């Protein structure tokens, strides 16, 4: 009898366990997956390991230097010199002083502690992101269930109102109101479904699931009945936040680096041991040893060591930035223990007073600013109207306050000292700059003197052409004529051209750019709000034809208007056998509902489809003209509002060429002037057109006027943005004039001259 009893007990105990083992995803499993698969956590752990690996190298001295030398060899056989020749082995070791190695180790350990805290902070942030996505998805699923129940209730109400209206016991307004509420609930269901899908996608991305992997159903986590008090939560956050620990560790590392930078002025010691030997003339070897001690000399402390110290000090001041940004001061507990106010406390709200002028620490007196300079740079004095606190209030701060005061005074003293050094000594007049300038002046002077010495006795260059121009001109009445022999004319290359009489024409060239024809651009906008269900035009630059569908959208207001129109048509059909007045009222109601659908932008073919099927559908937007899509401001699933510009379409069958004409040529650019356009992208393929527009005003900055040429664009080879050169001929108004080639005109700077060939080789300007 005991075996059946044991089997019954085992069966009863296994039943609830099997019921509890439901398939699903719990919050604890989400935490476990995030901890195992998050690349951010792996990166933070790797950075922490790298920081720990830098601790031991920071405490090691530099590697010793070993040198092997064959000293003083005779050339060219490299034989050993009898007097000075030697074989040498040298070992050098640099020894850091003033505790620099210990400070480097301290800074490395603090940096490693900071990276550990950052890794823990990353763990908590990843867990928080996973928990937020988890609870957001559960909330969205619960809201969807409640909204579906509410939608079912509204559908029942709609059927009830329709039945009452059909029986003559209800009003059409009640039916329409119920339809509107159902459509609104469908809209909210669609929005909540999108929110649910977004939350599910975010959680799947955090868990590293692929597109083909389904997310298991979420299990409700065990939540506490009550939350802790606000003070307890704040204390827990300030006491256990890893980012605050990281900020405190960074401050410690920054302080160590500042102290180490300040000790760079202490010279490092270099120890050396040299062993040498050489053969003796009488046989045997002579052995020698040397010991060396070297020091580094900080010759430029102001521009090197002091600057490095200032850099480390500023880095230490900014080291606690991430901790303060995380919601607290990384050194708040230490500052409170030392009697200092928080870093974010205002001067008038914290019982904080400036430190004494002088401090003593370890038997050493630190430097501070004079009273006047310290008062000028004291934020507490400025906050209290320029008055210091009484001396009695500056007691009882302890060593922490003295340390903070010394750091603050040292920072102000360095800033004032750097300002004074900048005012007192200009970099341009420094000794090194003056020496460089003197050397440059000496080199230039020597080069000039050498050039003058070498060219002082050189003869003047012969006249061009090998003849004397002074002999070509005569005096008296013929002083303006020039005489050239046939040989001189051939040598110079004088050419002749006849003077022609005719109209003077000049060619104007204008740089232009291809632009869209603004008269052939259209914009597609919806006349009601809704949601885009399908896109037929999916990318910018797509060619579309007039009447081609661009997108399909679901519009709740349009759906309600379609239901109202169908209801009005059914009412008109029911009243077909009624009185004339009732039929007229029903007809007016149907016409008003139809006009409302037209105002919403419903095309006639969709309206006929609605009348034929009796089922409302969404609205389709069509292309109003053929062309290219320039702008596409919509994607599938997007909510669009009435009047939003969804598409911008341009017909590129005709394009504009727009160019700027200078003011002196603007009078020649008239409407209808023939223009030849040459394109950089289409060499040897000029296009011809006429000026169709001249701007009525000038550009005041460039003093140019805009002209426009409309060109046909078969094959769409002309792209907006291309550059072109416009050429058109500008005839001169007036009588016929004499013209010569441009190369025949000689400019003297004051006037232009033309020489006429006379007999006997004479050339004279016309009178």
For residue 148, what is the domain's CATH number?
Answer: 1.20.1600.10
Q: What ranges in 208-269 are assigned the alpha helix state H?
A: 230-240, 242-262
Q: Output the CA–CA distances (angstroms, integers) from residue 603 to 589, 615, 621, in the order listed.
A: 20, 16, 9
Tally of structural domains, the chain: 5
User: In terms of domains, do 552 and 639 share one?
Assistant: yes
Instruction: Please report whether residue 442 resides in a domain.
Output: no
* Helices first, then strands: H and E counts in the chain: 19, 29
Segment 756-767 mean pLDDT: 78
User: In terms of domains, do 188 and 56 share one?
Assistant: yes
Q: Reduced to 3 states, what is the DSSP secondary structure of residue 563?
A: helix
User: In terms of domains, do 686 and 592 share one?
Assistant: no
pLDDT of residue 442: 61
Instruction: Please report whether residue 13 resides in a domain.
Output: no
pLDDT-based confidence at residue 569 (cuts at 50, 70, 90): confident
Q: What ranges in 304-370 are assigned the alpha helix state H?
A: 305-317, 321-325, 332-337
Q: What is the CA radius of gyration of the chain?
A: 47
Q: Which domain holds residue 187?
A: 33-61+96-207
Q: Output the CA–CA distances (angstroms, integers) from residue 512 to 107, 356, 674, 677, in the order listed.
A: 65, 74, 15, 9
Segment 448-466 mean pLDDT: 53
Distance (Å, whole) CA 628 – CA 636: 20
User: In terms of domains, do 321 and 290 share one?
Assistant: yes
Task: Take residue 311 and report the two structure tokens written for it.
Answer: 């850099």
pLDDT tens-digit readout, 341-352: 444 444 443 334
Residues 6+ apart with CB under 8 A from 630: 516, 521, 540, 648, 649, 650
Q: What is the 3-state secondary structure (H, E, C) of 47-79?
A: HHHHHHHCHHHHCCCCCCEEEEEEECEECCCCE
Nearest to 301 by CA among 421, 177, 131: 421
Task: Take residue 13 and report the two structure tokens written for it.
Answer: 């105990």
Residues 6+ apart with CB under 8 A from 724: 511, 512, 513, 514, 657, 659, 677, 678, 679, 680
**Can you state the percent helix, strand and coil of the chain, rounding each to 5?**
50, 20, 30
Q: Is the Cβ–Cβ distance between 318 and 304 less than 8 Å?
A: no
Nearest to 53 by CA among 131, 128, 115: 115
What is the domain-level CATH number for residue 712?
2.40.30.170
User: In terms of domains, do 510 and 533 share one?
Assistant: no
pLDDT of residue 129: 83
Residues 6+ apart with CB under 8 A from 682: 717
Instruction: Please report whether residue 156 resides in a domain.
Output: yes
User: In terms of domains, do 111 and 187 share one?
Assistant: yes
Among 303-307, 520-524, 659-663, 705-709, the least confident range: 303-307
Q: Is the pLDDT of residue 604 over 50?
A: yes
Other CB atoms within a 10 A radius of the CB of residue 292 amount to 11
User: In terms of domains, do 661 and 513 share one?
Assistant: yes
Distance (Å, whole) CA 225 – CA 246: 33
What is the domain-level CATH number for residue 535?
2.40.50.100
Q: Is the Cβ–Cβ distance between 276 and 288 less than 8 Å?
A: yes
Distance (Å, whole) CA 537 – CA 543: 9
Q: Reduced to 3 states, what is the DSSP secondary structure of residue 704?
A: strand
Nearest to 41 by CA among 126, 152, 134: 126
Instruction: Please report whether residue 67 resides in a domain.
Output: yes
User: In terms of domains, do 189 and 85 share one?
Assistant: no
Instruction: Please report whether residue 582 resides in a domain.
Output: yes
User: In terms of domains, do 144 and 193 share one?
Assistant: yes
User: In terms of domains, do 275 and 297 share one?
Assistant: yes
Distance (Å, whole) CA 251 – CA 317: 7
Q: Reduced to 3 states, what is the DSSP secondary structure of residue 239?
A: helix
pLDDT tens-digit readout, 189-223: 999 999 888 888 888 888 877 767 777 788 877 77
Burial class of 630 by CB neighbour count within 10 A (0 to 12, 13 to 18, 19+): middle
User: In terms of domains, do 600 and 697 share one?
Assistant: no
Strand partners, 293: 271
Rounded to a whole number, what is the largest CA-CA distance in the chain? 159
Instruction: Please report whether residue 496 resides in a domain.
Output: no
User: In whole numbers, what is the pLDDT of the chain averaged over residues?
Assistant: 74
Whose tokens are 């340390």? That residue is 403
Instruction: Please report whether residue 42 resides in a domain.
Output: yes
User: Pairing state of beta strands 746-747 and 505-516?
Assistant: unpaired
pLDDT of residue 47: 86
Instruction: Please report whether residue 625 resides in a domain.
Output: yes
Strand partners, 514: 657
User: In terms of domains, do 528 and 671 share one?
Assistant: no
pLDDT of residue 556: 83
The predicted model scores a pTM of 0.38
Whose tokens are 């500042």? That residue is 258
The proportion of the chain whose per-residue pLDDT surpasses 90, expressed as a percent, equals 11
pLDDT-based confidence at residue 319 (cuts at 50, 70, 90): low
Q: Please indicate whether residue 367 or residue 176 has the higher confidence score (pLDDT).
A: 176
Q: Is the Cβ–Cβ distance between 736 and 502 less than 8 Å?
A: yes
């Amino acid at each position: 009898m005991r075996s059946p009893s044991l089997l019954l007990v085992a069966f009863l105990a296994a039943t609830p366990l099997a019921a509890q083992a439901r398939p699903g995803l719990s919050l604890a499993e989400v935490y476990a997956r995030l901890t195992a698969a998050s690349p951010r956590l792996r990166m933070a752990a790797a950075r922490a390991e790298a920081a720990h690996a830098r601790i031991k190298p920071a405490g090691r001295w530099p590697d010793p230097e070993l040198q092997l030398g064959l000293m003083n060899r005779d050339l060219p056989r490299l034989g050993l010199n009898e007097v000075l020749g030697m074989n040498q082995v040298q070992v050098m070791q640099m020894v850091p002083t003033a505790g620099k190695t210990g400070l480097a180790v301290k800074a490395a350990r603090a940096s490693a502690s900071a990276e550990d805290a950052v890794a823990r902070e990353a763990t908590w942030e990843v867990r928080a992101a996973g928990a937020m996505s988890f609870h957001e998805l559960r909330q969205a699923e619960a809201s969807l269930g409640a909204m579906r129940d509410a939608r079912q209730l509204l559908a029942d109400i709609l059927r009830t109102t329709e039945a009452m209206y059909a029986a003559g016991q209800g009003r059409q307004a009640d039916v329409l109101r119920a339809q509107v509420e159902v459509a609104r609930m469908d809209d909210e269901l669609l929005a909540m479904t999108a929110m649910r899908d977004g939350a599910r996608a975010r959680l799947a991305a955090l868990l590293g699931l692929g597109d083909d992997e389904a997310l298991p159903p979420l299990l409700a986590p065990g939540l506490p009945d009550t939350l802790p008090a606000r003070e307890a939560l704040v204390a827990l956050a300030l006491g256990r936040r890893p980012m605050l620990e990281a900020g405190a560790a960074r401050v410690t590392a920054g302080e160590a680096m500042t102290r180490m930078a300040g000790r760079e002025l202490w010279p490092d010691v270099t120890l050396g041991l040299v062993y040498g030997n050489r053969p003796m003339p009488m046989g045997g070897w002579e052995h020698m040893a040397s010991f060396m001690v070297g020091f580094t000399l900080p010759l430029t402390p102001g521009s090197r060591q002091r600057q490095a110290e200032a850099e480390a000090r500023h880095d230490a001041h900014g080291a606690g930035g991430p901790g303060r940004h995380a919601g607290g001061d990384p050194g708040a507990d230490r500052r409170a223990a030392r009697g200092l106010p928080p870093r974010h406390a205002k001067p008038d709200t914290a019982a904080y007073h400036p430190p004494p002028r002088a401090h003593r620490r370890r038997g050493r007196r630190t430097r501070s600013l004079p009273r006047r300079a310290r008062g000028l740079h004291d934020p507490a004095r400025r906050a209290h109207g320029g008055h210091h606190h009484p001396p009695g209030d500056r007691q009882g701060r302890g060593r922490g306050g003295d340390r903070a005061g010394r750091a603050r005074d040292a920072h102000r003293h360095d800033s004032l000292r750097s300002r004074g050094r900048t005012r007192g000594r200009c970099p341009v007049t420094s000794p090194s700059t003056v020496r460089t300038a003197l050397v440059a002046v000496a080199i230039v002077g020597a080069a000039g003197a050498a050039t003058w010495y070498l060219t002082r006795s050189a003869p003047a260059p012969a006249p061009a052409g090998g003849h004397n121009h002074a002999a070509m001109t005569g005096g008296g009445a013929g002083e303006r004529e020039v005489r050239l022999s046939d040989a001189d004319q051939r040598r110079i290359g004088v050419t002749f051209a006849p003077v022609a009489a005719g109209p003077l024409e000049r060619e104007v060239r204008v740089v232009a750019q291809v632009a869209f024809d603004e008269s052939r651009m259209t914009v597609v906008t919806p006349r009601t709000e809704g949601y885009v269900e399908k896109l037929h035009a999916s990318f910018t630059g797509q060619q579309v034809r007039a009447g081609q569908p661009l997108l399909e959208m679901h519009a709740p207001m349009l759906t309600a208007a379609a239901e109202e129109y169908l209801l009005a048509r059914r009412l008109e059909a029911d009243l077909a056998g009624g009185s004339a007045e009732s039929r007229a009222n029903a007809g007016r109601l149907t016409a008003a509902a139809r006009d409302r659908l037209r105002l919403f932008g419903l095309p006639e073919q969709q309206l006929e489809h609605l009348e034929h099927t009796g089922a409302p559908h969404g609205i389709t937007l069509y292309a109003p003209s053929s062309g290219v899509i320039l702008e596409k401001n919509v994607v599938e699933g997007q909510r669009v509002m009435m009047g939003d510009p969804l598409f911008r379409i341009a017909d590129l069958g005709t394009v504009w060429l727009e160019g700027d004409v200078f003011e002196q040529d603007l009078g020649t650019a008239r409407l209808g002037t023939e223009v030849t356009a040459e394109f950089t992208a289409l060499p040897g393929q000029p296009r011809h057109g006429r000026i169709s527009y001249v701007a009525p005003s000038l550009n005041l900055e460039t003093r140019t006027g805009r002209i426009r040429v409309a060109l046909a664009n078969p094959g769409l080879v002309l792209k907006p943005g291309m550059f072109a050169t416009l050429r058109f001929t500008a005839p001169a108004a007036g009588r016929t004039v004499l013209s010569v080639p441009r190369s025949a005109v000689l400019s003297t700077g004051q006037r232009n001259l033309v020489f006429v060939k006379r007999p006997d080789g004479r050339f004279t300007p016309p009178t």
